[in-house]
Structure 1
Amino acid sequence: MTVQDVRPAEAYDAIRNDPAAVLVDVRTDAEWTFVGLPDLSAAGKQPVLIPWQVYPAMGVNGAFVDHLHKAGATPLSRIYFLCRSGARSLAAAQAAQAAGFPNSYNVADGFEGPPDGEGHRGTVAGWKADGLPWRQR
């Protein structure tokens, strides 16, 4: 099975309208703290924070699937994975599918998207650039 990419606005709409939809942010604690988090309060939800890689070595989080289970995810959940630009979240969604979570999706372009011509993220594509709600921690 292949992980489907979805646009940030499509993921946000699903999370707002589907009780079984969950947003899992797989960035690091530093990114959550200093860059910001999706604000899902309009949906009455919070993002689930599970790092895909563990700082500082940035090795894959060996307990990732266990954390998904502990967060209440089930095979019936529709799980939208988000990272900075869409790479880590794709790997996390693939791992989740392989672990029995078939409805796993990658949020294309992630929270900040690719860098613009001046090397700044958050202006070209992604959650922030699409004008979706977010907040500083």
Structure 2
Amino acid sequence: MQFVIMVSDFFLNKENSNSAFLFACSLLKLGHKLNNVFFYFDAVLHANNMITTSYDQINLGLEWNKLSINYNFPIYVCSKTSIERGIVSKNEVKSTKYLNYMNMYPSCNLIGYTEWLLLTYKCDRIIQF
């Protein structure tokens, strides 16, 4: 089966984010295809590569990045909510004069909500956490 996962909570605030990550790991290990992951609302903070965690916490942003690279699926990040929360991609740095650095993981791509919805038509299931 082909899945798309939508995450809307940040891992430091809610368990939904952790559940989404564990679900993704399980379905990939079972041989299913993960078409993409979409971070929306506070979940866009997973794309921020400057967030660090204490020694007893897992940095799910980093883990999502590794999983995306290992299993070759894209991570899409809502462009509107990312900009509102200070997540900056390489393209924003290039296109503006006032931004000097990016803070988004390389596996993440900014995309609008409508654009993302158009990418979901090939999947069998959309799972929201």
What's the TM-score, normalizing by structure 2?
A: 0.36
Which structure features the higher share of helix residues? 2
What's the TM-score, normalizing by structure 1?
A: 0.34
